[in-house]
């Protein structure tokens, strides 16, 4: 049941998570250092423009996973499914494929 709900509401879940992190960053300056990990790499080196790898980079990767999941869901729901219907594909199963 939980899996089905997550699959059916990918766009809403992704959008809510992105808005939560973004608004937390904008509205609560005391939390910017912690929430900023979702937007930038965390381990700069002494050389300009270079970064090393560390455990806090997982936040950035997780943020991009949520972002691209939302973009995929939006493209499917608002671009590709209507296009398939316009092209005459009537079966829901075939339109999703």
Tens digit of pLDDT for each residue in 45-62?
Answer: 888 878 888 888 899 999
Amino acid 48: pLDDT? 82
How many whole angstroms separate alpha carbon 22 and alpha carbon 3? 26
Amino acid 94: pLDDT? 83
Domain count, the chain: 1
Tens digit of pLDDT for each residue in 33-46?
Answer: 889 899 888 888 88
Amino acid 50: pLDDT? 85
Note if the pTM is more than 0.85. Answer: no
Cα–Cα distance list, 41 to 13, 54, 56, 67, 69 (Å): 24, 9, 8, 16, 20
For residue 37, the enclosing domain spans: 2-96
């Amino acid at each position: 049941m939980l899996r089905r709900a997550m699959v059916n509401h990918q766009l809403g879940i992704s959008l809510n998570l992105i808005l939560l992190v973004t608004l937390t960053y904008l509205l609560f300056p005391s939390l910017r250092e912690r929430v900023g990990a979702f937007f930038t790499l965390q381990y700069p080196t002494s050389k300009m423009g270079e970064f090393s790898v560390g455990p806090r980079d997982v936040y950035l990767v997780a943020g991009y996973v949520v972002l691209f999941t939302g973009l995929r869901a939006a493209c499917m729901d608002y671009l590709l499914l209507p296009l398939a219907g316009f092209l005459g594909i009537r079966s829901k199963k075939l339109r999703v494929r």
